Structures are given as C-alpha cells and as structure tokens.
A and B are shown apart, each in its own frame.
Chain A
C-alpha cells in the first residue's frame, strides 16, 4: 500500500510567476523524504504539486510530469479528486473539522463519494486509524466529542488518523510540527517512523534536526533571491546531506551559516 513518486522537469507557476524551477526527483516507496530549505524557497509549493493541492490557489499550474508508480498526475482526464484520495496531506496547522466529532473526523474521507460503510466496519476503521496515529488511548472514551476540543498535538494526530483512514499510497506533510510543542513534536516524529512501514511519507520541515531524525533521504531547496524561482539544490541520503554535502550552499545551510 505505497507507491513511488517520480518527478520529471517540473516547473510550478502562479499565473505567470515561476515559483519553482526544473525539479526532478525520485521518491522511493516506503521511505521518509524530507524537504528542507529557507522560507520562500518553494518547498511547500513543490510539495503541494505532488497531490495537485496547489491548484486550489488561484493561478497555480505546472509544466512537467509527476508520476505515481508511472501514472502521470497531470495527464488530461486525470481528476485531482482521485489524485488526492491516493496522496493524502497533513497541514501546517492542525485542521480537524470543527463541527464533527472525533469519530466523524476520522471517517470524513472514507464517507466521501457516497461510499457506504457498515457500523461495525466504521468502528473498526476508527480504532485502527486512531491506533495508527497513536491517539487511540487518549480519545477512546470521547469519540463523540468535537475534535476541536483536543490539544494541538492531539488534533494533528487526529488529522493524520483521518489521512491514513482513506488508505492513501503517499502521505505529504507540510511542516506538521511547526505549531506544536516539543513533546507533541516527538509524538509525531515517532509516528512518522511507524508510518513508513506502510506508506510513502514526504515531509517539509524547517527544523533540520527533525529532518535528520525522521528522514531517509533529504532534498535541499534554495532560492537565489526575492522574485527568483526556487530550485532543488541537492538530493541525497540524509546522512550525506548532513555530514558530507556535495554543494557549498547545502553545507552552509545545514551548518547554520544562513537561513
């Protein structure tokens, strides 16, 4: 239940502004890949192109190919809705549906497209997903309470439970810990380590220690200056990026000399 992603010569535009230029990258199945880089370098933008979420922003479009096990996401006739049900996403700030209970939040994606699910199957899936997100023990007694009543870290794990409940091939995470305290961050990082047994995980992070802790491979993005497009500078095993980077800019960044 996980697929690889191959990106070929991808340019990302907002209307006529080139935001990310010429990215090619291969992301292995069942691995954790981290995107690092200074603010505004396009790593989040690039992440969103992997499940066509950038199209939600007016004027967002791409040139190039993104292949999910060889199938191009951007071929004409491909519905972004299908793409997103295969490639899930966790956002910077926890965003459970405030009007839904914890249980309904987990089932939100499953109930889409008029899919019917029996009560017992639903209960089993809720438990499995919440266990998968390391949240079950904390919420099992209040599944009918609103998800917005949980702490920030719990909400974020609820969002992860919601994402894995639809059994995606890939999970994209856009700075999932940036709004969380260190303890909650640790819980999410442990979870990411478990998730890669089943899913392909791609994570954008500002925190280099986090990238070093959780990822197998790391991609460093950088930007030449304001108004210039972001570019993929270096992509290699995480240990290589942090101990023996091939590019000067990467070394400067990971050693804290800028950014």
Chain B
C-alpha cells in the first residue's frame, strides 16, 4: 500500500474553507429565493386584476388604463429627481474628493452622509410645510413666462403641491446616495492615472475628465441607479407632498400620482379586487426597477473592454 504524503487529512483549515463556501452559497441562494418569493407573491395576489371584468377595475376601463397614468407619474417624479440630483451629486462628490481642503472635505462628507439618515417622513413634512409654499412664486413665474411649453402650462398650483415639488424633494433624498457612492469611487481612482494626466500638462479639471471620470463611470451609473431605485420606490415623501390627481403634462399644477404613493394612500381601506389592483401596481413597480437595473448592467458591460479591469 502506498500512502501519498501530499494528501491532506481533514485539517482545521479545510473545514473552515468548507464552512465558508457553504455559507456563501447559502447566502446567494437565499437572495434568489427571496426575490423569487416576492415575484410569486405579487403575481398570485395580482392575478384577479388581470382576469376580472374590466368595468369592475378602478376607472372602469381595465387595469391598463388604471396603471399607465401612475406609471408615467412615477417615472416623471423619478426623472426630475435624477435630473437634479445627478449633476449636483457628482459635482459635490468631485468637490469633496479633488477640490476641497482635506479638513473641509471630511466634514462635508459627514454632513452628506447625515442627509441619508433623515427619515423620509421628515423630508415629506419639510416638502409639505416649507418647500411647497416657497416654490409657489417660481411656479407662477414659470407659468407666465414659459407657459407655452406644456410642461409649465398654467395656472400654477396655489399650494405648490405639485409633481415638480415632489421631484425636488426626491432629489434631495437621493442626493446623499449619489454623492457618497461617487465620492468613494472618485477617491479610488489610481494615483498613477491621475499623475499620467498631470504629467502631460493637464489642468485639474482636464485630469478629472481624462482619468477620474472614465474610471468612475460604472460606479457613477451604479450610484445613479441606486438613487433611481429610491426615487421610484419612495412613498412617504411623495404621499405627503403631492396633491394627487389625473395624469397631466404640466409639472406645476396639482395632479399626477406615483405607484408607491398610490399604494400607500389606498392600501389601508382596500379589499377584494381593489387590493389585487394595488398589488398589481406593486408588481409593475417591481418590473420597472428590475428593467432599470438590467439596462444599467448592460451599459456597464458594453464598455468592459475599456474599463481598466484588464
């Protein structure tokens, strides 16, 4: 009988390896199972809505005519939020990572992170009590001067509780997400690439556009997508700020509704078919977020060859 001295008898290290790989695999499976369970729950609970007589669904014209205005409302609110928060967030992150003196940068970073810790109901209350009334004059100005654009058609809301206000509140809420993630990525830019740009005679801004931003691009996209996830799903702030109504193009009149707020406002009193409707609305929101994430992945993957990972 030959014994191979290189064969290891079950040592402690091997056991550790096995436990860890088992735990990692378990965690991965748990995520998939959870996701699947959520999808199945939503599908089963929502099913009656799709099979029911269209005249019985809210609005009386079937589920599609019920859902599409609030889908568009959701997208509009999230789009406004990202249009504002993305440039501001990236600019603040760049300021913290590459322009601010070190002491100021650390303080500013903390303040931004604190913004993320404020509960959304507080943002909602602030939007309702402070921001909305404060925006009324600007809305009136927009209606008078840019009223020919459907987006700013008057008469402007007297309370300021419009989809634009909701979008701005959402922008403030997603700003810390975009800022802190972008800042982390910007700080990880290899010194080597920054110095390469500087040594060619680049100014600080040129160095940022040549080495920092290209390096951070996938990270920025992820940050924006996370922000978008929050903006799409945010309930409380929108429910408090927005004076809801039917779908209208004007951003400065009362009206529009988002899926999350629709569900939250109606859920407590819903039963039977109405409950299924709201869960179906939730399913639609779930699909939207999923699609958005897939698109983001695709964008990141398309530039893999040039990502610097190779």
Binding site for B on A (CB under 8 A): 51, 53, 56, 58, 81-82, 84-86, 88-89, 91, 93, 95-101, 108-109, 112-113, 146, 148-149, 159, 162-163, 166
Contacts and interface: CB of A to CB of B under 8 A. Distances in A.
B192 A51 contact: no
A90 B201 CA distance: 13
A59 to B, nearest CB: 11
**Top-5 shortest CB links A-B:** A98-B308, A85-B201, A109-B200, A99-B214, A89-B199
A56 B310 contact: no
Interface of B: 102, 190, 192-203, 206, 210-211, 214-215, 217, 303, 305-308, 310
A109 B211 CA distance: 12
A130 to B, nearest CB: 16
Contacts of B190: 95
Contacts of B199: 51, 53, 84, 88-89, 91, 163
B202 A112 contact: yes
Nearest to A147: B306
Contact of B201 (A93, A99, A109): A109
Contacts of B195: 53, 56, 89, 91, 95
B192 A95 contact: yes
Contacts of A53: 195, 198-199
B305 A84 contact: no
A112 B201 contact: yes
Nearest to A90: B199
Contacts of B306: 98-101, 146, 148
B4 to A, nearest CB: 37
B192 A81 contact: no
A146 B305 CA distance: 7
Nearest to B310: A148
A112 B205 CA distance: 11
B200 A95 contact: no
A99 B307 contact: yes
Contacts of A85: 200-201
Contact of B200 (A82, A99, A146, A163): A163
Given A81-B202, A82-B201, A166-B201, A91 B102 contact: no
Nearest to A101: B306
Contact of A148 (B102, B200, B308): B308
Contact of B102 (A58, A86, A88, A101): A58
Interface centre among A58, A85, A109, A166 (most CB of B within 10 A): A109
A79 to B, nearest CB: 9
A84 B200 contact: yes
Contacts of B200: 84-85, 88, 108-109, 112, 162-163, 166
Contacts of B305: 146, 149
Contact of B192 (A88, A91, A100, A113): A91
